[in-house]
Amino acid sequence: MTRLFLYPNQRHQQTWYEPIVADKPYKDSLISNVENVDFLNLDLYTEHYKYIGLEIVSETVFDYYQPFVSEKTLRPIFNKRFFIILSGPGTLKLLQNLGFKTWNHIIDESYDNEKDYIKRYNLILKEIEKFCNKDINEVKNLVKNNKDMLEYNYTLLKNLEEKEIECLKSIL
């Protein structure tokens, strides 16, 4: 029987083609050193989130026809921060359907509806640009003023295991 295979995430080629990483080991938690951290070997929680307002989540796939959620998307939720997600269209909607709050009042989330990945990419870049233009005190205030929503998402994620296990029991 013929089997068809393609490897969209290219796990067999897991290196950058150009040396863009400093090779010094990570030593402290200063945000200026964040580029040396191997996040894949860390837990969901890291100290680094203390120093930032928003995470630009780069999911495993972007030119994908359906939503995709992995630990990368869970990380900012776990660390009580805003997020913009580069993933398949509808990923934010999927999170909303699961009960999570997203940040349409801060970031224009219409990119999530755009199925053309080039247009979606450009919409995302525009929002990143807008968020980067904010003064750092404004970012602090945004995080502070949205504490309730950030805590809500965290609690939802915290209780998700319990809910999922109930759901698992119900289908057995």
* Contact of 94 with 70, CB cutoff 8 Å: no
CB of 60 to another protein, least distance (A): 5
Residues numbered 54 to 113 that lie near another protein (CB under 8 A) are 54-58, 60-72, 74-75, 78, 80-81, 86, 94, 98
- Pick between residue 101 and residue 121 the one whose CB is nearest to another protein: 121
Residues numbered 14 to 33 that lie near another protein (CB under 8 A) are 14-21, 23, 31-32
40 is a contact residue toward another protein (CB under 8 A):
yes
Q: How far apart are CA 29 and CA 32, in angstroms?
A: 8
Q: How far apart are CA 54 and CA 66, in angstroms?
A: 24
Residues numbered 133 to 152 that lie near another protein (CB under 8 A) are 134, 136, 139-140, 143-144, 147, 150-151
CB of 152 to another protein, least distance (A): 12
* Contact of 123 with 110, CB cutoff 8 Å: yes
CB of 112 to another protein, least distance (A): 15
Q: Which of 108, 114, 152, 160 binds another protein (CB under 8 A)?
A: 160
Closest C-alpha to 8, from 71, 75, 85, 88: 88
